[in-house]
Every structure is written in structure tokens, then in C-alpha cells.
Amino acid sequence: MMVSGRRCTRGSEAPRPGTMGGGGQPGEAGGGGGRPGGVFTWEEVQRHRGRNDQWLVIDRKVYDISQWAQRHPGGVRVISHYAGEDATEPFAAFHPDKKFVQKFLKPLLIGELAATEPCQDRSKNAAAVRDFEALRARAQSQGLFQARPLFFCLHLGHILLLEAAAWMMLWSWGTSWTLTLLCSFILAVAQSQAGWLQHDFGHLSVFKMSAWNHLLQKFVIGHLKGASANWWNHRHFQHHAKPNVFSKDPDVNMLHVFVVGDSQPVEYGIKKIKHMPYNHQHQYFFLLGPPLLIPVYFHIQILRTMFSRRDWVDLAWSMSFYLRYLCCYAPFYGLLGSVALISFVRFLESHWFVWVTQMNHLPMIIDHERHQDWLSMQLNATCNIQQSSFNDWFSGHLNFQIEHHLFPTMPRHNYHRVAPLVRALCEKHGIPYHVKSLRRGLTDVVRSLKNSGDLWLDAYLHK
């Protein structure tokens, strides 16, 4: 397999022969037959991408993760998506404390790339990789990875205030239909904003210590929302690692209900696959997408994941939400009425969540693995929505989806500061940097579904 790119000396210090083996065992070669202190070509590394035989490269060092991948804190799938590849860029993106992570990497080291091998594998743009590394260093030097505690305290405070206001309104004025609808709306706002806040903690973008981020994420997503932090992390990190890549990004796994992008509809059409009338998917999306994702699909998936993985800690956090909720609202509505209320709140929240998350990704390129560099991959899969105070609040600053995907550990209040630098870098390398109005972003969701449905119908009838 051919590789391209400029030679470089990044991380080229050779490991001490005979001291480190693969699979986490000192001096023992891993499942792929690695040699301690060995020197490898990209072609050799790329052979090790099977389920039980996985190597990857970080800063020109070759690691055998075959046995350790199952213990990866971010989940086995996200690290396995880079088996047989250069993982330097995603490693830098996901790990704010690289010195801490080194103690886990050290026992997995089996060698390095040969001096004649380029730093980048496959057809990645070496110049873009180099310039993006410089941009990351510049952002760090400008303090753009430093969070403002007051920002997140105020954000949490307004969520708690909304929760309290919804209950106080019923306690003070009763449970008429008008007040119940208003209460539902207020709770849906609180739930949506809590979703954006747990997203911040999940990406380790608030506290310097990972443990504090994990603890606050469990509080917000567990106690304030009734969901699971581990379920969200393992799913969402895959999305960031390989956005809009079939079989790797769970967000484009539509369970045969929708076909997306340009390639999948044609493949389904040629194979005469018709699980749904896909040429009408832009219409039934309004019935099966926003209304059902959180209250039905996510709810079932969260419960199944917690029980199958025996994640009793997340289950306890989740149950604390429902216990608190029933104690607050069962006296007003009874058990069945309370269940109906929270179901309606989830229904409203689901619409909010689906439109915000899909407007940044669904209209973009969705395809099979293309092995692109980090900058090109993220820009092809994401777009921005114009900045405004409302858009920032409404989307949890995910209107800066490009900057968030490039720098997932950066505090969201700094996205607008790094955005001009990212745009300049994209212009330099001829990479499109898409910014849309909120209205255009929402309508493009439906437009992209219709385009994909038309591609399917044409291939189904004529190919």
C-alpha cells in the first residue's frame, strides 16, 4: 500500500530494544507479531487492523493495542477505528493531559517507523497536518484551552433556576392545561441546556483534572437528565473520531430507516434494498426522526447499555433523576400523569436535539472511510451556523461545529476566538469552510434527505 507525505523527525527517538512489548506486556510481542524495539513500514502497520490484532502510530511510535483496546477508557471502538493508521492527530485532540496518558502507552510500545517512512500514512496532506499542529500550538499559547469557571457556573445556575421555576409555578398556581404546557416547555429548555452542559464535561473542556469533569458529567447527565455518561461518551467519541463515516460514526447508522449521503442511497438502490420508501424519507422524517429519537430509541439504548455492561454507577445516577422527578411531580399529577409529563418533555427536547445536531452534519459529505488528515476530514463532515447570542445559547455553541470538531477539548466560549484562525488555514489549503444561517441549516436537513432519497429511487429503478 502506497503512502505519501514529507519525511519528518517528529518523535523519532527509538525505543530501547527488548524493554517494551505489545499488548501491554513488557518484552512480549503483541497479537500481530511485533518486535520489541522494531522498525516498521506503513505497509506493515496497515496489516494490523483486525479485531484481535491492532497496531497504531502516534508521533512515529508504533503501539500494539490488541489486548489493551478493551480497557480503553474512551471505549474499544473509538481506538479501534484507528487500527492500522496514524492516530497522532486524534490522540492530540482527545487527550488534554498527554503526560498522564503516556504511562498507558509506554507498555504498548513495540517500535517506531523506519527513518525512510513519511510521518503521514496513505494520502493525507502533510502540509495541512503540519500547519494544523502549528495552529493548535498557537491556540494553546493564547490560552484558548483555558476554561472560565464563571461561564459554566452561570450555565449550570440557569438550568437549576429553570428546574426550580417549573416546580414553583405548579406549586403556586396549580396544574391547569396552560400551566402544564408552560411547565413542559420550561423543563424541555432545562433538559436541552443540561445536554449541552454535560457535553462540555464529557469532552474534558471545563476542569484541568479529568476526574472533576467525569464527576460533573455524571451529575448533569445522570441526576439532571436521567441518562448515562458512559453510554454517551462511547457513542459520541466515535462520532468525533470518524465523523460521517459509515460503520464508524454511530450518528449515521440510521438502522435502514433513512439513507444518507450520496453513496449509500446508490448502493441500496443497486442492491434493490427497500426497507422504507426512501424517496419519501424527507417527509416521514418528521414522524420518525425528531419525535422518537430521545424518548424511544435513546431511552431503550441507554437502559440496554447500562444493564448489559453492568454499569451500576451510571444506573444509580440515572435512577436518582427519576426518584427526584417523581417526588416533585407525582403529588401534582400522580404516577401516570408524571410519566406522561416527562414523556412530553422528552418529545420536545428530542426535536431540539435532532435539528441542532443534524443541521451541522447531515447536509455534509457522508461516505465510507477515506483516510483523510484531521483537518480535511472534519471540514468535510461539519459546517457552522452564523454566530449570534441566540444561536450560541440555542445550540450550546455547536453553531461553531467546525471548531468544536477540530478542538473537542477547547471550552466552547473560545470557539469564536479560534474561528478566524481556522478559516484562514482552510483558505490556505483550499478546504471549504461552510457557514450558514440558522434557517438555511435547518432547511438543508430536509433538502439533503430528499436528495438522498431521489438518488436511491433513480438507482433502484434504473441501475
Kindly indicate the confidence band of residue 8, based on its pLDDT and cuts at 50, 70 and 90: low
- Do residues 242 and 81 make contact, with C-beta atoms less than 8 angstroms apart? yes
Residue 245 backbone zone (phi > 0: left; psi -120 to 50: alpha; other: beta): beta
Spatial distance between the Cα atoms of 234 and 422, rounded to a whole number of angstroms: 27
Q: What is the pLDDT of residue 233?
A: 95
The residue assigned the cell 449541552 is: 196
Whether 7 has a pLDDT exceeding 60, the answer reads: no
- Averaged over 376-385, what is the pLDDT? 97
- Averaged over 151-159, what is the pLDDT? 98
Q: Which of 53-67, 95-109, 124-138, 233-247 has the lowest mean pLDDT?
A: 95-109
Q: What is the pLDDT of residue 122?
A: 86
Q: Please give the model's pTM, rounded to 2 decimal places.
A: 0.91
Whether 11 has a pLDDT exceeding 60, the answer reads: no
Whether 340 has a pLDDT exceeding 90, the answer reads: yes
Q: What is the pLDDT of residue 3?
A: 42
Q: What is the pLDDT of residue 10?
A: 54
Spatial distance between the Cα atoms of 162 and 94, rounded to a whole number of angstroms: 32
The residue assigned the cell 481506538 is: 79
Q: Which residues of 385-397 are buried (b: 16+ CB within 10 A; e: fewer)?
A: beeeeebbebbbb
Per-position DSSP letters for 103-119, written without gaps between them: HHHGGGEEEEE-TTS-S
Q: Check the CA dihedral 375-152-206-307 and report its sign.
A: negative
Report pLDDT digits (tens) over 39-66. 999 999 999 999 899 999 999 999 999 9
Question: What's the chain's average pLDDT?
Answer: 92
Degrees to nearest 5, angle at CA 301 with 236 and 397: 35
CB count within 10 Å of CB 104 equals 15
Q: What is the pLDDT of residue 14?
A: 39
Per-position DSSP letters for 323-378, written without gaps between them: HHHHHHHHHHHHHHHHHHHHHHHHHHHHHHHHHHHHTTTTTS--BS-----HHHHH
- Do residues 287 and 281 make contact, with C-beta atoms less than 8 angstroms apart? no
Residue 449 backbone zone (phi > 0: left; psi -120 to 50: alpha; other: beta): alpha
- Residue 145, helix vs strand vs coil: coil
- Averaged over 448-462, what is the pLDDT? 97
Report pLDDT digits (tens) over 211-263. 999 999 999 999 999 999 999 999 999 999 999 999 999 999 998 999 999 99
What lies within 8 Å, CB to CB, of 327 at 6+ separation is: none
- Averaged over 420-447, what is the pLDDT? 98
What lies within 8 Å, CB to CB, of 211 at 6+ separation is: none
Q: Which of 94-108, 120-134, 288-302, 306-320 has the lowest mean pLDDT?
A: 94-108
- Averaged over 150-163, what is the pLDDT? 98
Task: Tell me whether strands 38-40 and 55-58 are parallel, antiparallel or unpaired.
Answer: unpaired
What lies within 8 Å, CB to CB, of 430 at 6+ separation is: none
Helix H or strand E encompassing 39: strand 38-40
Q: What's the CA dihedral at 322, 297, 401, 444 to 10 degrees?
A: -130
Q: What is the pLDDT of residue 165?
A: 98
- Averaged over 373-401, what is the pLDDT? 97
What lies within 8 Å, CB to CB, of 150 at 6+ separation is: none
Q: Which of 21-30, 185-194, 376-385, 390-399 has the lowest mean pLDDT?
A: 21-30
Q: Report the number of secondary-structure helices (H) and strands (E) in the chain.
A: 18, 6
What lies within 8 Å, CB to CB, of 31 at 6+ separation is: 22, 23, 52, 53, 54, 64, 66, 67
Kindly indicate the confidence band of residue 374, based on its pLDDT and cuts at 50, 70 and 90: very high
Helix H or strand E encompassing 181: helix 177-202
- Do residues 147 and 206 make contact, with C-beta atoms less than 8 angstroms apart? yes
